[in-house]
Amino acid sequence: MRGAVATSRREVRRRIPARIHATPLSRRRLVALSAMARICTDVVARPLIIVWAVLAALLDVAVALPGNPYFTSISGAVVTVLFQSLLAWALWRRRHSELAWSLAFLLSASVAILSAFVGIDPEPGWLMAIMVSIAQVLVLCTPPLYAYVWGSDPHRPVASS
């Protein structure tokens, strides 16, 4: 029976050494450690979400300053602020946070990338906007925020073994 393939769960458990099997106590510890890791990630990631939102607000204010030829209208600015607020809320509440992170990343990165493609004159206002957008990308790519968004969520159903 040594070379036979284990067909039942009981046979598999019998062949695995006892020290590898998880006891209920160790499972509880694992769940507690996982919850503690999630809380630590939340504690670090949420201020980063606030930093991203503040940078987005700074960029909106810079665009709305007088003399900016690219400012379209007040209604466009309001829609932009509402959309960025929705992204920040989705990141904060973990509601479709992967989609919100992806959109925030694309919007933040697009300012610098499109400015390079269009060939904007190196004016101080544009350089500041590019630096703020790069700072937004860097904040979004920090490991705690990335893990907060793309990590496993304890509230989501997980397939049991």
Secondary structure string (H, E, C) spanning 33-58: HHHHHHHHHHHHHHHHHHHHHHHHHH
pLDDT tens digits along 78-126: 888 899 999 999 988 877 788 988 999 998 898 888 888 887 777 777 7
Distance, in Å, from the CA atom of 35 to the CA atom of 72, rounded to the nearest integer, reads 46
Per-residue pLDDT tens over the stretch 30-54? 566 566 656 666 778 888 889 999 9
Mean pLDDT of 12-21: 53
